[in-house]
A and B are shown apart, each in its own frame.
Chain A
Amino acid sequence: MQTFPLVEMRSIYKAFGGVHAVEDVTVDLYRGEVVGLVGHNGAGKSTLIKILSGVFEADSGQIFIEGEEATIRNPRDARRYGIETIYQNLALADNLDCPANVFLGRELMRGFALNEDAMEAETRKVLDRLRIRVPSLRESVINLSGGQRQAVAIGRALYFNARILIMDEPTAALGPAEARQVGQLIKQLKAEGVGIFLISHDIHDVFEYADRISVLKTGRLVGTVRKTEVTQDDVLTMIIAGMLPHRGVVTPAAQPQISPSA
C-alpha cells in the first residue's frame, strides 16, 4: 500500500502586489512527523503556513491532504481538514477561562444555553491528556503561566482532533522551563500520530524536535534535509547562503525517514 503524505503543498506561488512572497515552494509532512520550517524573516515561512491554514489563498499550486487535492479558502475550510494553527501571539481571549478558550467558536450547547459543565469536563480531559495541571479551570487564562496558556491553545487544537498542527514560534513567548513543557507536548503529539509544521527562529528547538527541516530563502525553497544527517552549521549555511549541504538532502519524491518516537 502506498502511503501518501499527510500534507503535500506542491509548487505554491503567492505574490503581494509585485512582490513574490512564496515562489514554487513544495513541502510535505507525514503522520507523526515534525517538519521544521526555517528561514529569515520575509523568507516566506509565515505566508506559506497561512496558505495552509486558510488565512491567504495561493495564487497557484496545489495542496494535497492524504493524497486528495484540498480546497482551502478560509480558516473554516482548513479546520474541516483537521488543520489547526497555534499562533505565536497565543490567540487566546485572556479574560475567558480555559473551557471558554478551548471551545471558542465551537461551544458545546444544551438547547440555547452553553453547556459550561460539559465543556469544563472535556477541557479537564484534554489537559490531562497533555499532562498539564492548571490551578483552576474556571479562572481567566490571564492568570496562567505562558506554558499553561500554550497548553490551552494546544488543547484546543487537540480536542477537535487536529491531524495537522501548525505551530508558529510556539516557544517564542515562553521562559526556558515553559518552553521545555511545550517541547514535551510536541513529542507527545508526534507519538499520537499528529503531523506538525514547526516554525521557529531557534535552531536548537528545530534540531530538538524536527525530523526534517525545510529551509526557505527569499520566497524559495532552498531544500529539505533530514535532521539526523546534517549539522546545525549546515542548516545555518542553507539559511544564510542558500547553499545545500553535501548529504542529507531529501529529494521531493523520496520517502522521509521518521525517527522512532516514544
Chain B
Amino acid sequence: MAQSNSGPYRDAERGGATGDATNTISQRSAPSRRAFIKGVIASGAAASAAGYLFRGPGVPSAHAQAAGTVERLVTLNVNGATRRVDVLPQETLAHTIRYKLGLTGTKLGCDHGECGACTVIMDGVTVYSCSTLTHSVRGRKITTIEGIEGPNGKLHKVQAAFVEELGPQCGFCTSGQVMAAVALLEQNPHPSVEEARLAMSGNLCRCGAYDHYLKGVMRAAGEA
C-alpha cells in the first residue's frame, strides 16, 4: 500500500485513520470475509469468521500449487538491512515482519486498520502494516520499532521520553505510538500540542494513556 500523501498528518489528510486502509482491506478481505461454513444446514444460517488469516512461518503451504497462492521471493529494506523473503500475494506487511522476519515488536491489535498497534514507518510516513500488502513495499524503506534505537541500544529520544512520562500502561499499543511519534518529529521537530495530538490520533490506547504519550512526545521535542 503506497501512500501518496506525505507528512505525519496522515489522519487529517486522508479523513480519518482508516481512510487509506479501506481499499487495501477490501481487496484483502475478499477471500477473508466470505462465509466460512458453506455447509451450514439451517434455515437462513450464515456463518462468519472473518479476521486474521495467513500462512504459517516456514511451513510448506498446503495449497502451494493452487492459483494465487504461490509465494514469490521479494527483497525488502527493513531497518536498513536487505531482507529476502518468500511472500504470498495476499500477505500483509505485518505478517511478513512478525512471522517471517522475526520482528515481533510490531503488534496486531485489530488487523483491520483501526487501532494503529501495527504502525511502521515507510519512507518517512507512518502506515498500518496490517493493511499494507508486502508485495507493494518492494524498494521502500521500512522502519519498525526494532529499528529506531541508536547504536549500542541507546534509546531514541521518543523512547526515553515515553519511559520518563510513563507513556505505556499495558504496552500493547506502545510500539505503534513510538513509531507515530518518531515519524512526527522527523517531519516536524517542534510540533504544537495540537499538531502532536493530531499526529498521534491514528493510534488507539485502550488503557487511556493518551495524555502520557502526548507529554512524552512534547518532552522528546524538547517542549516539556
Q: Is the pairing of A and B real?
A: no
Residues in chain B within 8 A of chain A (CB atoms)? none
A residues whose Cβ falls under 8 Å from a Cβ of B: none
